[in-house]
A = this chain, B = another copy of it.
């Protein structure tokens, strides 16, 4: 499973004067140890590690800016690192350089409950933030499977199971502190809920995957913990009837908080990994947020829709601990899948299509995957038209890797033809770069390149990622 070709990638040793400056400033927070570099040269992608030359553990925006200035001066690649949970090779040091670990920037800067905002350093993780919020009656809804850092989530435009109701990082960041390639520090916006004052720098850096600037602080929107929450599981006879139910729920305009699909394989894996006894057929996990009567209303309509599509009776999870177990199991579907094939590595697809195309897209994909020589599971944030195929590959079998890549290519083509995207929430990194041309066209990629060039003229920020070189 080699990373996409980077024959043109330049990997030069760090200049001595650069390394001395770094070590003298950061002493034991600058590491050249192989184990540390290896830890920072990988993520949850199927690629083998590609090591940075050095790892620096930053504790403040000022330190990040200092490192950026040094890297800028010496043209050394600089890759921001959160908790390493990205899935597409975002963190691999294809051109070497410095991995800048921000996990030590773990301070809650401010919680403003009256404005429903929290400002945190980039290394704060979503679960930590929610723990800190517990007494405020508020919560932060965005939940990628992993306990990712807020900086990393902003950098990849992450979302998760709650996005169908609460949106993605795109909709839920008010402003960020960002260090530019040459070490300037900017605040992208302010805490006003809306603004028409100039270019949307916040949205420009969200999803830029460390290639335009280094996010060091994030101010996010918070939401009141719902007065009432209820969750339910509904099994279906087949994939299409489950997906069709979701389409109808969305088309009814139900403000459902979560609606997650799992195929039979994913249910089986989850039962095994999380010690549950879910019925092993395609299922939907629902969650409803609102007032007690609002939640009841929603649940009733959704139950009718599910029943009309052949769904079985709802199994309710009303107690918080039951719900928590269920959603933890759902968030662990990735790791559960890995356990289906001990020793495997996973490659994950991530297309997102308009909801009207979802049933066709999932069904055609499952038919395709049924022909594969490896096991797979499908889970999805189907309310958004987004689903993942987890392909479980023998890490030593290069042919299987090629096969999975072919299948993913077909899936992405299918999604783009349906006016969708190659990546709904994971980002591009190395792995989805090959689809950028088909999805955006050369003119759009040229515009992206010209922005990159304008903001990072020496191409030091996470180089070799996202935008493919012009053919």
Contacts and interface: CB of A to CB of B under 8 A. Distances in A.
Contacts of A206: 200
Contacts of A163: 194
Nearest to A226: B253
Given A187-B444, A197-B421, 7 more contacts: A170-B194, A186-B440, A192-B421, A198-B439, A199-B208, A224-B252, A453-B454
Of A180, A354, A415, the most chain B CB neighbours within 10 A belong to A354
Contacts of A50: none
B207 A200 contact: yes
Contacts of A428: 196-198
A422 B156 CA distance: 29
A419 interface: yes
Interface string A158-195: 11000100011011000000001000111111111111
Interface in A198-243: 198-201, 203-204, 206-208, 212, 223-224
B356 A444 contact: no
Chain A interface residue bracket vs B: 35 or more
Interface string A125-160: 000000000000000000000000000000011110
A433 to B, nearest CB: 10
Nearest to A188: B444
A451 interface: yes
Contacts of A212: 199
A27 interface: no
A117 B447 CA distance: 26
Contact of A294 (B294, B354, B384, B445): B294
B201 A196 contact: no
Contact of A443 (B167, B184, B293): B184
A373 interface: no
B201 A447 contact: yes
13 contacts: A112-B356, A114-B251, A156-B196, A158-B196, A189-B421, A191-B419, A196-B424, A196-B426, A197-B422, A197-B427, A198-B436, A200-B200, A204-B451
A187 B207 CA distance: 18
Contact of A196 (B117, B355, B427): B427
Nearest to A171: B171
A98 B163 CA distance: 43
A441 interface: yes
A297 interface: yes
A114 B454 contact: no
Given A115-B355, A171-B171, A198 B191 contact: no
A425 B184 CA distance: 28
Contacts of A159: 194
A386 interface: yes
A415 B195 CA distance: 12
A352 interface: yes
A285 B153 CA distance: 38
Interface in A384-405: 384-386
A455 interface: yes
Contacts of A436: 197-198
A200 B170 CA distance: 9
A119 B123 CA distance: 40
B195 A352 contact: yes
Of A163, A197, A356, A419, the most chain B CB neighbours within 10 A belong to A197
Given A200-B170, A204-B204, A416 B190 contact: yes
Contacts of A193: 352, 354-355, 384-386
Contacts of A199: 204, 207-208, 212, 448, 451
A324 interface: no
Across the A-B interface, the 9 shortest Cβ-Cβ residue pairs = A224-B253, A203-B203, A195-B421, A114-B356, A454-B454, A191-B419, A450-B454, A192-B352, A115-B354
A185 B446 CA distance: 12
Contacts of A197: 421-423, 427-428, 432, 435-436, 439-440
